[in-house]
Amino acid sequence: MNHKKRPTFSLRSKRRVFVTGVRLCRTGNVVTGFTLIEMVLAIALVFYIGLLSTAFYSGFYLRNAANIVTKDLAFSLRQAQVYSMSGRQGSDWGVALTDDAIIIFKGSSYASRATTFDESHAIPVTLVVTGFNETVFSRITGYPSATSTVVITGAGRTRTVVVNEQGIVDQY
């Protein structure tokens, strides 16, 4: 390949140095490769960028977890209400909160539920979920057994899900 040679001046001497492709030619001597300090700097730079990206990703994950659980809870409440209103399996449906999961269940209470119909959504251990233990929606009307407010807290974020007396689910 024919590359145009661009003359430059070295800081060490006044001799002309020509850069051709990958090789640095200096008056007949060929110098190739990287020095040890260049390799150490390159590895340190890659390590530092990786460290920063890991810190940003973990912060993003923790902040986003509260939003995801809020949406999962609202979806589960609406899904249980639709199941009840449509008379699915001829039963009431409800939602229960445990320490590590949101569970849609079939039955008039979580304790007497039919476990084969359970639908579960995980709650990360980094979040604190407080509020109701369970809400059951009545058949046909879809009204909840009680109004409830659930507060989801984690990584400096607080999200709220509210179920009113008519079964309307809101997220804040």
Q: State how far the Cα of 65 lies from the Cα of 80, in Å rounded to an integer.
A: 22
pLDDT of residue 6: 59
pLDDT digit string, tens, across residues 41-75: 999 999 999 999 988 888 888 888 999 999 999 99
Lowest average pLDDT, out of 13-17, 97-101, 147-151, goes to 13-17
Q: Is residue 40 part of a domain?
A: no
pLDDT of residue 61: 84
**For 129-141, what is the mean pLDDT?**
93
Mean of the per-residue pLDDT values of the chain: 86
Q: Is residue 35 part of a domain?
A: no
User: % helix / strand / coil in the chain, to the nearest 5?
Assistant: 35, 35, 35
Q: Is residue 145 part of a domain?
A: yes
Residue 77: domain span: 66-171
Q: What angle do CA 131, 71, 64 make, to 5 degrees?
A: 100
Q: Is residue 97 part of a domain?
A: yes
How many domains would you assign to the chain? Answer: 1
pTM over 0.75: no
**Residue 135's domain is classified under what CATH number?**
3.55.40.10
pLDDT digit string, tens, across residues 11-22: 555 555 444 444
Q: Is residue 85 part of a domain?
A: yes
Q: Is residue 146 part of a domain?
A: yes
Q: State how far the Cα of 161 lies from the Cα of 169, in Å rounded to an integer.
A: 7
Q: Is residue 129 part of a domain?
A: yes
**Distance from the first to the final alpha carbon of the chain:** 64
